[in-house]
Amino acid sequence: MLMVFGLVFLIGSGVAFKMYQDGRHSLQSFSEVQGVELSYNEDGQLVDRGTTEEADAIMTMLEDEWGYPVSGMEMDADDPLVNTASEYMFQMATVVHHVINGTTEVTLTEDQLVDAEGNALTELQVGDETLQVPDPVPAEGWTVEYPNGGKYWNDFDRTNPVDAAARGDIWTGTVHGLVGELGVGTVTASALKLALGLTALIAGLGVINILTGAGLFWAAGAARRDDRPVADADDRRVLVDQTA
Cis peptide before 147 (omega within 30 of 0): no
pLDDT under 50 in the chain at which residues?
Answer: 238-239
Is there a single domain that holds both residue 112 and residue 194?
no
Give the containing element (helix H, strand E) for 40: strand 39-40
Is there a single domain that holds both residue 89 and residue 62?
yes
Whether 220 is covered by a domain: the verdict is no
Cα(56)–Cα(76) distance, integer angstroms = 16
Is there a single domain that holds both residue 81 and residue 185?
yes
Is there a single domain that holds both residue 17 and residue 94?
yes
Is there a single domain that holds both residue 153 and residue 60?
no
Predicted pLDDT at 217: 73
Q: Exposed/middle/buried for 1, CB within 10 Å: 0-12, 13-18, 19+? A: exposed
Give the containing element (helix H, strand E) for 28: helix 2-34
Whether 214 is covered by a domain: the verdict is no
Cα(34)–Cα(181) distance, integer angstroms = 10
Is there a single domain that holds both residue 148 and residue 177?
no
Task: Confirm if 203 and 9 have CB atoms less than 8 A apart.
Answer: yes
Is there a single domain that holds both residue 93 and residue 108?
no
- Total count of domains within the chain: 2
Task: Note the pTM of the prediction, 2 decimals.
Answer: 0.78
Report the amino acid identity of residue 33: V
Q: Exposed/middle/buried for 91, CB within 10 Å: 0-12, 13-18, 19+? A: buried
Is there a single domain that holds both residue 68 and residue 189?
yes
Q: DSSP assignment of 224-242, as one string?
A: HHHTS----HHHHHHHHHH
Query: Which tens digit of pLDDT belongs to each residue from 115-169?
Result: 888 889 999 999 999 999 999 999 999 999 999 999 999 999 989 999 999 999 9
Q: Which domain holds residue 71?
A: 2-99+173-201
Task: Confirm if 182 and 91 have CB atoms less than 8 A apart.
Answer: yes
Q: How far is CA 184 from the centre of its chain?
A: 8
Is there a single domain that holds both residue 65 and residue 134?
no
Predicted pLDDT at 232: 53
Task: Tell which residue, 139, 141, 182, 176, has the closest CA to residue 162.
Answer: 141
Is there a single domain that holds both residue 65 and residue 139?
no
Handedness of CA 136, 142, 147, 151 (dihedral sign): positive
Whether 85 is covered by a domain: the verdict is yes
